[in-house]
Chain A
Amino acid sequence: MDIAEIASLVGDDRVHARCYTDPAIFELEMERIFRRTWNFACHESQIPKSGDFVTMTIARQPIIVARAPSGEVAAMFNRCSHRGSIVCREESGNAPNFTCPFHGWVFRCNGELAGIPYRESYSPEFLAQTNLGLAPVPRLGRYRGFVFVSLSAEGVPFESYLAPLKVGIDNLLDRAPEGELIADNGLHRYAYKGNWKHQIENGIDEYHPPFSHASTIKDGKQMARAYGSEGFHYTNKNEKSEDVGRSHFDHAEIHGFPYGHSYLTVADRSRVADLKVPSYRELLIKKHGEKRFAEVEEETFITNCVFYPNFILRVNNNIHLRVVRPIAVDRSEVWVWPLRFKGAPDDMSEGIMRYANVHTSVASFVQTDDLEVFERCQEGLNAQAPEWVWLARGLKQEKPGKHPGELVAQGTWETGMRAQFRYWKEMMTQA
């Protein structure tokens, strides 16, 4: 596929349906986006002790991230250097080393080769090679417990990639009474017959909730999700949101950035429920003092940070990490880890889990209908006409933001998706 052809698939206000349905494009995305940019891999609270590991696939490749005895975090391919078996089947655990089941080669938890059975049959030259360990993932980036990897030695530096969305991570950690997040509270995992982009776009789609999630609205109010929350009104009294020109969610903002990133802000302050839990509030005031606490409260304005291409960080209420794993052009898996703050009162953490179960579980009130809609999109996009998917809401009405290349938009505008496709085009047109 030549560069001009790929470039022709993305316009300012539209993208071609082939971006979601063409297997050749999907293969190119793996190579030019997922393998070249940064992918979220894990949170360090999932591997606190020496020998702790997690496994995953990134761009469909098997990867291990482990805590070495030195305390360092190591990321390597889960692929025996001998003849290719994966050396670890578990999704998480603790192991002093990884032993290949095939012929017994042993690797340390930082990937170094520890032993080869019956080694006399190998020549000294062969054994002198330094590349017989598990191959390291080319680049690893860590920021305040968040571990990202890049499968390419070259490309955008981690610092630059992270810069636009650091604010979300920083705010989360400012709200942690002991300055730490825990991402080891079980997880929700689901699959759908649809392209990975449906999920990553959904992280900043505030146009859809009144419609896709109509079944969660009773008497004009969203069903209560958080403990003690009343559920908020979607619309002004006596108005159906379909009938008014402006959605409740337009009180929120979308910020679009370079590298395909975006974040979404809260539609109104009453939706930042967690800071109102009295026992938790007291802890934070004790940690920060009244003045700084007031600032932290003010800085708590982000709902979702969407790190392109595979990671959504939920920054308030049902805080969580959500990773999208592309499997095929029309199949994706998503893993969602609810977060809690270390040292936060149990009732608050329980509230987060409760919210997670009704929001991101595959049997929840919300995710179920998103998944159904993703699958309907995938089916619909097989139509030969129209060729285009419109991403025109709020086009050219945005205001510039503080960060270079930042665009600030109303909540329901498709500014986030446009940011994603700008970077998509930039990456996909580099041979």
Chain B
Amino acid sequence: MENAPKPRRLAPAEVQEFILFEAQLLNERAFEHWFALMTEDIVYWMPAREHQPNGRMEASIIYDDRTLMRSRIDRLSHPKMWSQNPAAKMQRLVSNITLDHDYETNGMVHSAFAAFEFRNNEQRIFGGTYEHQLRREEGGFKIARKVVRLLNAEGVLWNLGIPF
């Protein structure tokens, strides 16, 4: 029982509100506002497998720095992004928002999400966890790193148009 999981502290309201606000921006396709939440050195990562150590030396579903994230958002407003034409509607539910044991030093927040997507007369369900690394900047929170661990990351995936 050496590595028995320890309970994490519930994130304070301020942190929870921030995480939920981010989800709201994505749900509302307010991508520019979403991008404005990121730090200059943002890393936005969706690993392709469960125990992937990092995104540098192996394939990821998404591994964006600021430049790639900018291009990702530019595409989302392009009228000829065929895979989002028509655009998908998405609802993300974020829950279980807790602070990392070392939150005071690393700013890490853990949460779980469920997401529903509707496009082309088809509804899809996604689930997984988020890790947000928060940093205080200009009096508010910014996201320095966001890791999206999709439950089915290791499976054969169907088109993913919108960021999670």
Contact = CB atoms under 8 A, between A and B. Distances in A.
Interface of A: 185-192, 212, 214-216, 218, 223-224, 333, 336-338, 340, 346, 349-350, 353-354, 356-358, 361-363, 365, 368-369, 371-373, 376
Interface in B121-164: 155-161, 163
B66 to A, nearest CB: 13
27 contacts: A186-B48, A186-B49, A186-B52, A189-B157, A191-B157, A212-B82, A215-B75, A215-B80, A215-B82, A223-B75, A224-B67, A224-B71, A338-B58, A338-B59, A340-B57, A346-B57, A353-B57, A353-B59, A353-B60, A357-B55, A357-B62, A358-B71, A361-B48, A361-B60, A363-B163, A369-B82, A372-B159
A241 to B, nearest CB: 13
A230 B52 CA distance: 30
Interface in B30-66: 46, 48-49, 52, 55-63
Q: Which among B68, B159, B163 has the highest number of chain A CB atoms within 10 Å?
A: B159
Contact of A368 (B55, B60, B83, B163): B83
A373 B80 CA distance: 12
Contact of A357 (B57, B59, B78): B59
Contacts of B156: 189-191, 333
B81 interface: yes
A365 B57 contact: no
A235 B92 CA distance: 40
A186 B157 contact: no
Contact of B59 (A185, A218, A373): A185
Contact count band on B:
20 to 34
Interface of B: 46, 48-49, 52, 55-63, 67-68, 71-72, 74-75, 78, 80-83, 85, 155-161, 163
Q: Find the residue from B63, B72, B74, B75 having the highest chain A CB count within 10 A.
A: B75
Given A185-B59, A353-B55, A365 B48 contact: no
A340 B56 CA distance: 12
Contact of A188 (B59, B71, B72, B81): B59
Contact of B56 (A353, A358, A371): A353
A362 B158 contact: yes
Which has the most chain B C-beta neighbours within 10 Å: A190, A346, A368?
A: A368
A365 B63 CA distance: 12
B24 to A, nearest CB: 21
A361 B61 contact: yes
Given A215-B75, A353-B63, A362-B159, A188 B48 contact: yes
Of the candidates A187, A189, A340, the one having the most CB atoms from chain B within 10 angstroms of its own CB is A189
A190 B75 CA distance: 20
Contact of B72 (A212, A337, A365): A365
Given A212-B82, A363-B46, A369-B81, A185 B160 contact: no
B83 A371 contact: yes
A214 B78 contact: yes
B128 to A, nearest CB: 13
B83 A369 contact: yes
Given A362-B157, A362-B160, A365-B71, A353 B80 contact: no
Contacts of A214: 78, 80
Given A353-B57, A368-B83, 7 more contacts: A186-B60, A190-B159, A192-B159, A215-B78, A338-B58, A356-B59, A362-B61
A354 B159 CA distance: 19
B59 A371 contact: no
Contacts of B60: 186, 353, 357, 361
B78 A368 contact: no
A333 to B, nearest CB: 5
